[in-house]
Structure 1
Amino acid sequence: MALEVRYSLRARYEEIELLEYIIQKFGRKKAKEIYDRIERVLAQVSKMPEMYRASNKQKGLRKCAFSK
């Protein structure tokens, strides 16, 4: 069973800011590619959270680096 992925307000804001920046610099097509990639990674986190490092700050929280 897949777990629910929840965003903090900060994370949601940063995602929006990132996508707006990508739209301005690279266009909507590239922003859509990045958004789709984010959604695929989140789906993977939801299905297999143990493959990502657990947070030291909060129980039940996992960390996932999206890109280098």
Structure 2
Amino acid sequence: MSLEVRYSIRARKEEIDLLEYIIEKFGQEKAKEVFFRIEKVLEEISIMPEMFQVSTKKEGLRRCVFSK
């Protein structure tokens, strides 16, 4: 059973800002690639959240870091 992944308003805005930056600097294809990678990781989080580090800032959150 998958859990619901919810965005904070800040997280959604940061994702949009990131994708707009990538479009501007690297093009739409790269932005699509990053978007789909984010979606894939969110799906993994919903299925098996334990594979990601527990947040030290807020109970019930997990931490996932993206890199190149």
| TM-score of the two chains, using structure 2 as the length reference | 0.93
Equivalent-residue separation in structure 1 for 2:56 and 2:21 (angstroms)? 31
Q: Where does the alignment leave 5 or more consecutive residues of structure 2 unmatched?
A: none
Equivalent-residue separation in structure 2 for 1:48 and 1:42 (angstroms)? 10
Show the counterpart of 1:46.
Answer: 46
Task: Figure out how many residues of one structure are paired with residues of the other and give that number.
Answer: 68
Q: CA deviation at 1:59?
A: 1.6
Q: Which of structure 1's runs of 4+ aligned residues deviate more than 6 A?
A: none
Show the counterpart of 2:19.
Answer: 19
Show the counterpart of 2:59.
Answer: 59
Aligned CA-pair RMSD:
1.1
| TM-score of the two chains, using structure 1 as the length reference | 0.93
- Matched-pair identity in %: 66
